[in-house]
Amino acid sequence: MPFTKSLRITSSVKLQGSHTTGGGWGHAIWHSYPTGKGLRQFTGKEDLGALLGLWRNLGEDPKPREGIQSTAFKGAITGGASRVLLDLPGKGSLSAIRLHLEPATPARLGNLWLRITWDGEVRPGVECPVVAFFGNEFGKNRVQTLMQGVNKDGMMYNYWPMPFWQSARVELENRGDQTVSFDGTVDFKPSTVLDYPRAGTGHFRASAYQPMTAKPHGRDSLIAEIAGSGHVVAGLITAEKSDCEGDVRVYIDGCGTPAVESDGSESWACYGWGFAFPPQQNPASSYDGGWNGAWSMLRLLMGDCYPFRTSFRMTVEGGSGTRDNNGDRRSGLVFWYGEPEPTMALTDFLDVGDPDSETRHEYTALSSEKKDLTSALEGEFDNVPITDSGRTLNGPSQFTVQIAPENQGVLLRRRSDQMQRGQRAKVSVDGLQIAERTWIAPDGNPHFRWFEDEFLIPSSYTRGKSKIVIRIEPAPIEQKQGLNWNESLYWVFSLGVANRTEGVSLPQKAVPPFDGGR
């Protein structure tokens, strides 16, 4: 639902919780852009006929067949052996991979791995069990989504487009000790350089597969961790001994506050309380397993992909929110497009409340109150205390920061105390107010008070400059509300900058907890 100025979501139905707690909940995921250019306001009258046509034909490749070539394969792999299914030189795109196994027992499914290597890279872009690649680690039922699944005849399919520019190599590896028979096809389109120009197009990849592992005591189960830049288009989470109430948490580019936190795993897969009745499927997600804590769920993220510029981390909280091990065991991975190189660089850092840092950055906040706080960030590390100082503003603050002249915009990240609810500020660069948006943090949390959020400055305000003067002017969200704004730390990232030799020294309190910060 594109919007160019604002969006408000309401419900005419009272949100209902369980019979014991009452209340209710929900969530929405949104993307913000530097400007509204190219966006058309959602009206509800859009023609969705083509989309509905795709949804009615799950199991069929949704992409056009024009120019597609197909290679069939059939054979058997003994334990410990590998088999090359396809080795293509030149430019092209894999359009579909289909695979049928016999016998398709859980042990054989889990021990057969698929490996895809792009353009002669040292490490495969995809390396995972075939059941994970096709979106269902247990395979108890044949569930289908638009891009991944299993047809009624047992043929597994993956229809994500996979462009390459020098070569593509697809292999099967049997990591078990029993022979597996297989057959299938790989569809590909050669010389698709016009369809997928190298600039701005990433390789199709899978995060390092996380095998079925007990949840660490006091921490989340890790599903995916990526260094590089790109966007995530699907996620797979599987559990052996866990209910579905553990929150899914997504951390983008090292930000200490999750960019996405669902109300339980089932909500992240968009099934609400439906986990009691597997199997379930729709064009964008599927769920297979049982109510006994053994389940595998897939969610496609085509409409709400998770973009990142330096890193991506996805975890799942313990079942029912517990920190104890409690027998929870999970595995999983995510699928993404991109490259292992970053596309933004940290070019400056301001520690508000530190006299030396404030002096170096020409920081002023004439109407402010300095405060100290010991609290924690929301999320997996909400039991790790962080002590820092900052300022509560009753008027504007101003500071000078270094940026890369070749930047494609600047990202400001702020750590603040969210005991103060409903924060909003106008942001100016070199005396010019950002017209596209104000900085708003509407929520609050009196328990885990540290909060990190971000503000994107379009390149029209920063291009070609090596430093900028930023002015933060608190403003009320509503007319009768007072000024609410506080600031403790500011990270300054220059976008579109992949490699920089100089670094910015961060104090330990500014390092994300999952990277060893405290």
Q: Among positive and negative, which fits the CA dihedral 432, 437, 442, 444?
A: negative
Instruction: State the CB neighbour count (10 A cutoff) for residue 245.
Output: 17
Q: Is the CB of residue 452 less than 8 Å from the CB of residue 377?
A: yes
Identify the weakest region by mean pLDDT among 10-14, 101-105, 165-169, 215-219.
10-14
Cβ atoms of 41 and 4 within 8 Å: the answer is yes
User: Can you tell me the distance from the alpha carbon of 239 to that of 248, in angstroms, rounded to the nearest whole number?
Assistant: 13
Q: Pinpoint the residues of the chain covered by CATH 2.60.120.1390.
A: 68-201, 207-342
Separation of alpha carbons 47 and 518, rounded Å: 51
Tell me which architecture the domain covering 344-515 has in CATH: Sandwich (2.60)
Over residues 67-72, mean pLDDT: 94
**Residue 139 confidence (pLDDT):** 80
> Is 182:77 a contact under the CB 8 Å cutoff?
yes
Q: Check: CATH 2.60.120.1390 for 68-201? A: yes
Tell me the C-alpha distance between 52 and 143, whole Å. 19
pTM (two decimals): 0.94
Angle at 356 between CA 353 and CA 358, to 5 degrees: 50
Residue 12's pLDDT is what?
A: 75
DSSP letters, 171-226, are EEEE-SSS-EEEEEEEEEEE--TTTS-STT--EEEEPPPEEEEEPPTTSPEEEEEE
Per the rule left: phi > 0, alpha: psi between -120 and 50, beta: everything else, 358 is: alpha
Q: Which residues of 210-240 are buried (b: 16+ CB within 10 A; e: fewer)?
A: beeeebeeebbbbbbbbebbbebbbbbbbbb
Q: Write the pLDDT tens digit of every residue in 419-429.
A: 999 999 999 99
User: What count of Cα atoms within 13 Å lies in the side-chain half-sphere of residue 486?
Assistant: 24
For position 518, what pLDDT does the model report? 42
Q: And the tokens for 400?
A: 């000078």
Tokens of 8: 């408000």
Q: What is the pLDDT of residues 300-313, one digit of tens each?
A: 998 889 999 999 99
Closest CA to 95 of 152, 164, 47, 149: 164
**With the C-alpha atoms ordered 362, 436, 201, 262, is the resulting torsion angle positive or negative?**
positive
Query: Per DSSP, which regions of 272-395 are E strands?
Result: 280-282, 285-289, 295-300, 306-308, 311-316, 329-339, 344-351, 368-375, 386-393
* Cα separation of the two ends of the chain: 39
- Contact criterion met (CB below 8 Å) for 109 and 129: yes
For residue 165, the 8-state DSSP code is: S
Q: Which of 411, 409, 400 is nearest to 467 (CA)?
A: 400
Mean pLDDT of 52-77: 93
Instruction: Please give the pLDDT value at position 58.
Output: 93
Give me the percent of the chain exceeding a pLDDT of 70: 94
Can you say how many angstroms the Cα of residue 12 is from the centroid of all Cα atoms in its chain? 31
- Supply the pLDDT for residue 398: 98
CATH number of 207-342: 2.60.120.1390
3-state secondary structure of 2: coil
Distance CA 48, CA 185 (A): 31
The 10 Å CB-count burial string (b at 16+, else e) for 352-384 is: bbbeebbebbebebeebeeeebebbbbbbbbee
pLDDT-based confidence at residue 29 (cuts at 50, 70, 90):
confident
**Which two structure tokens, joined as six digits, stand for 229?**
């830049």
Coil, helix or strand at residue 266: helix
Q: Which one, of 210, 263, 271, lies nearest residue 236 by Cα?
A: 210
Question: For 122, phi and psi rounded to 5 degrees?
Answer: -65, -40
CA 455 to chain CA centroid, Å, is: 18
Please say if the pLDDT value at position 469 is more than 50: yes
Please say if the pLDDT value at position 19 is more than 70.
Answer: no
pLDDT given at position 276: 63
In 3D space, the residue among 253, 306, 260 whose CA is nearest the CA of residue 413 turns out to be 253
CB 101 within 8 A of CB 108: yes
CATH 2.60.120.260 residue spans of the chain: 344-515
> Who has greater pLDDT, 458 or 15?
458
Segment 336-346, tens digit of pLDDT: 999 999 999 99
Q: What is the mean pLDDT of the chain?
A: 91
Other C-beta atoms lying within 10 Å of the C-beta of residue 26 = 10
